[in-house]
Structure 1
């Protein structure tokens, strides 16, 4: 699958995840933690299709979305033509020193090879007193109900091992402290997708584990068959730990 095809497949999944119970409340909590005044510049790094930028703008912030994928930025610009979306890297943000009042990154740092460099760049663009909010999922601790817990553990850990920093979110607090941020706090929430969204996420996890050689095709098919049956009878259970770290520059 090409990178373009991967992004095309990712966008509807991201939309589905954004719509699961509790997702809107999680985003709203992150906006509250930013505590931005009307008109203040807030940078959303890894903005994807731009939902957070849209919601921050609707709250009165001067929100700018940054994403490494020009394809994602094109989608964001299509959905919100009046929004400010730019192709860019978490390592080199297109802002002057101290220009931003808020920095937000959701499910981004686990994909970064150098988190310290990214957090240093966040600190550079934030004004004194500016706020930062990092949201991340712990890939190694997905909670999935299954008739085969041993196979489930294998699948979860194999999928986690494909992520650059699967346990990054549990280190956000120390990352912020080490970078010199103050008033560092962490909240723990849980995402619980159900139905088709849960099946789509579980399918992605199982297929990635199979592609990595951690499980056989037969194991993947049997495990997914069970999960689809659970979803069809309203018995699926998938819980994703989410960590919300906030701090002041």
Structure 2
């Protein structure tokens, strides 16, 4: 994960656990694989994974024969990634300053990153700089205002979703991918939406996090947060939980 004010960002103690859990969700492997396909890199080609977190995408790209570099502003994340994938190339760097040479990579990938950037345009300027002419970029992430949750109290649910969204720097960045890429001068734009539907207890930590985030802003009370989380637990136990999470994936080509 990446955020710029990035260099001084404090990571939540359980962020790596949450990222690992997200990678185990149904459909996550297929989503990553689709992002690699859209990136269009193969054996002997090079790519940078921006906001690489614990490094799984770098390892998977390397398995495809790609010369992959993972960058993240967090020393802790890079330390974990190096521990898990000691043969891979991981570097401490943020999305605004990648510490790569001009026109040095064939692919640029950023997964669940741009919603954390205060200046996404600046990140795309940097992407243009490091990509070779004709290189490919793939952006993947969720729109934080577009999370569908069934609940007995839809008004409270709406308040929770929007209040939690407002805690991120760019909660609607995913819906802006296409226009951001156009503004940055990229060509051959494609946008896909892959919606995960979840009905089991595995999503309870995410739902609890939404409510706790909303409570921390003062948008809802402690009692409302506790009640809403309790309802979702009951739903999960009764096989009545429903959460739909659209993931937006945009790909484009750097000008030749």
Q: Does 1:44 align with 2:49?
A: yes
Which residue of structure 2 lines up, in the alignment, with residue 204 of structure 1? Answer: 209
Unaligned runs of 5+ in 1: none
- Partner residue of 1:3 out of 4, 10, 14: 10
Which residue of structure 1 lines up, in the alignment, with residue 76 of structure 2? Answer: 71
Matched-pair contact (CA < 8 Å) for 1:68–1:89: yes
- Partner residue of 1:149 out of 136, 154, 167: 154
Paired residues for 1:1-249 under 5 Å: 3=10, 6=12, 8-249=13-254
Matched-pair contact (CA < 8 Å) for 1:65–1:84: yes
Partner Cα distance (2:60, 2:247) in 1 = 20
Count of equivalent residues: 246
TM-score (norm 1): 0.96
Q: What CA deviation, in whole Å up to 9, does each residue of 1:155-187 have, x standing for no partner? A: 000001111110000000011111111101100
Partner Cα distance (1:191, 1:66) in 2 = 27
Query: Secondary structure at 2:96's aligned position in 1?
Result: coil
Q: CA deviation at 1:193?
A: 3.9
Matched-pair contact (CA < 8 Å) for 2:199–2:240: no
Partner Cα distance (1:94, 1:41) in 2 = 15
- Runs of 4 or more consecutive aligned structure 1 residues displaced over 2 Å after TM superposition: 191-197
Worse-superposed segment, 233-242 or 95-104: 233-242
Instruction: Pick the structure with more helix per residue.
Output: 1
Partner Cα distance (2:55, 2:42) in 1 = 20
Matched-pair contact (CA < 8 Å) for 1:17–1:193: no
Partner Cα distance (1:49, 1:117) in 2 = 24
Matched-pair contact (CA < 8 Å) for 2:138–2:252: yes
Matched-pair contact (CA < 8 Å) for 2:147–2:161: yes
Q: CA deviation at 1:141?
A: 1.1
Unaligned runs of 5+ in 2: 1-8
